[in-house]
Homo-oligomer: A and B are copies of this chain.
């Protein structure tokens, strides 16, 4: 074992002869609609953040007793499609009816190879390195809220706007982001922020490597769609579940080249700051000055999901929100 379990470490790395095998297993338990698709992509992300191309996938599909055969069929088709898109082979699987379960669960296990024995870990972040963020904050959260809170969002936003927000699911893979950045060189560490969003991801990388960070608020991509949904629910996009974005610790002399290479692959990316040698320095700068970046206690998704059905930030007395749908 080269890399086993650890805080913020996304995947295990195992020595297999001359090769390094990267492997990760995660369940999808809360998303019925795209469950098979997510099982492949979420596990692929954690292998790719090691710098390894995902290659092989195994799944366990657990279904409630009432399940129709078409549910299995749909999940398997999603797995097949997602695997095909990533160039991954589905090498095995198990499906069963599990008494005592009221919704499907898919547990995936992804394996990949660290080519030429090169890989990165979360704790390899270097002080003085540039921090690159791809795609932006709150990608997954935007899609989840547009799907699951349409009850309140459709009072404010058009169907077309919400449809555009829902298809943020398509941005959830960071495999191309990670493979592209890693192929340029100068990458010390990569991490995909999930629960706790970009803020949580930055703290996890700093925790794992004993570093601090300084980031600039204006440089962090937050799409207008994400921005509006977060303003509506009065939540922080930096603390909203963020699968789809990739955080990279990169050599400063190569950071611009990595951003250009990502751009050639049509992946938006920006240099948002740098990691520092002071573990207690975890700050975000803006026009208003420099302040500590909050360490999320729980993901802001849960705040938005628990808002009352009549929730509307505009309806509140004294609201000064300037959000308008364009």
Give residues in A with beta carbon < 8 Å to B: 1, 4-5, 11-12, 14, 16-19, 21, 23-27, 29-30, 55-56, 58-60, 62, 89-94, 96, 98-103, 105, 107, 109, 111, 113
Contacts and interface: CB of A to CB of B under 8 A. Distances in A.
Query: Which of A30, A60, A92, A113 has the most C-beta atoms of chain B within 10 angstroms of its own C-beta?
Result: A92
Contact of A91 (B12, B26, B98): B12
A59 B94 CA distance: 15
A229 to B, nearest CB: 23
A58 B23 contact: yes
Nearest to A17: B19
Given A27-B96, A94-B26, A58 B105 contact: no
B100 A25 contact: no
Contact of A107 (B11, B56, B60, B91): B60
Contacts of A56: 1, 12, 14, 23
A258 to B, nearest CB: 28
A59 B26 CA distance: 8
Given A27-B107, A100-B103, A109-B25, A92 B58 contact: no
A103 B111 CA distance: 29
B98 A105 contact: yes
18 contacts: A4-B90, A11-B92, A12-B91, A14-B55, A14-B56, A16-B19, A18-B18, A23-B56, A23-B58, A23-B91, A23-B109, A25-B59, A27-B62, A27-B94, A98-B105, A101-B101, A101-B102, A111-B111
A100 B98 contact: no
Given A25-B60, A30-B99, A1 B107 contact: no
A4 B92 contact: yes
A34 to B, nearest CB: 17
Interface centre among A17, A21, A26, A93 (most CB of B within 10 A): A21
A5 B92 contact: yes
Contact of A17 (B12, B18, B94): B18
Contacts of A91: 1, 4-5, 12, 14, 23
Given A4-B91, A16-B19, A102 B100 contact: yes
